[in-house]
Chain A
Amino acid sequence: AQKITQTQPGMFVQEKEAVTLDCTYDTSDPSYGLFWYKQPSSGEMIFLIYQGSYDQQNATEGRYSLNFQKARKSANLVISASQLGDSAMYFCAMREGLTNDYKLSFGAGTTVTVRA
C-alpha cells in the first residue's frame, strides 16, 4: 500500500499568490515525522519543513507552513506569496518510528510552476 499519496502531479500558481500542495499518509506507527522537500531543476533535495506526530501546533518556516490534520492523516504544504524561485518539484515524506527502522517514504511529487 502507498505510504504517501500526492494527488497533484502538477500545479500552476501566479506569482505572489499562495498555493497548497496536498499530501496524505498511511502508517500504524504511533510515532512518525512528516517532511517536505523541494527539488529544483538542478536536482538537489532541499529540506523545507518538518512536523512531528505529537506536535500540537502546525509547523511554520518562513513562507512555508504545514497544515497538519492528524485524524485525516493529511500534511498539506502551504507556500505563501509564491516567487519565481519556488518553481520546483515538491515531495512529501514520512519517517516512521523505531518499529519501522526510521524508514523514510516519499510521495510521487508535485511539480509547481510559478507564473510571472
Chain B
Amino acid sequence: EAQVTQNPRYLITVTGKKLTVTCSQNMNHEYMSWYRQDPGLGLRQIYYSMNVEVTDKGDVPEGYKVSRKEKRNFPLILESPSPNQTSLYFCASSLRGEGEKLFFGSGTQLSVL
C-alpha cells in the first residue's frame, strides 16, 4: 500500500531533550516536506527536500534540522526542543510538479513541557 509513515504518533518530552520524528514513504517520491499545524495558522512549511542530499528551509525552520540521506526517509530533528515547538507535525511527499498532490503522514502530536 502506498503510504507515508510517520512515527511516533504522540510524543511528550521536556525542554532541551533532543528528539527525532521519523518519516518514510514507499512511493519513490522525489519531494518530501515537513509541516507544523497550529490553530489559526494552518500548516506552515518547516523544511523540504527536492531529492536526496537536497534540502531547503521553509517558512519556519528555526529550531529544526532535517536530512535526506535516502530517497525514502526524511527525519525531522529537534536538537533542543522548546515549549513553542508544541504542535501537530505532518510529513508529506509527492512527485515533483505544481500539479502533484501531497501524500500526508498521519501526523505527530508533540508536546514539549
Contacts and interface: CB of A to CB of B under 8 A. Distances in A.
Contacts of A104: 33, 45, 92, 102
Given A95-B100, A104-B102, A43 B107 contact: yes
A103 B42 contact: no
B31 A44 contact: no
Nearest to B88: A43
Name the prevailing secondary structure of the B interface residues.
Answer: strand
Contacts of B102: 35, 45, 47, 104
17 contacts: A4-B42, A43-B106, A43-B107, A44-B104, A95-B98, A96-B98, A98-B98, A101-B50, A101-B56, A102-B31, A102-B97, A102-B100, A103-B58, A106-B43, A107-B42, A108-B40, A108-B41
Interface of B: 31, 33, 35, 40-45, 48, 50, 56, 58, 88, 90, 92, 94, 96-102, 104, 106-107
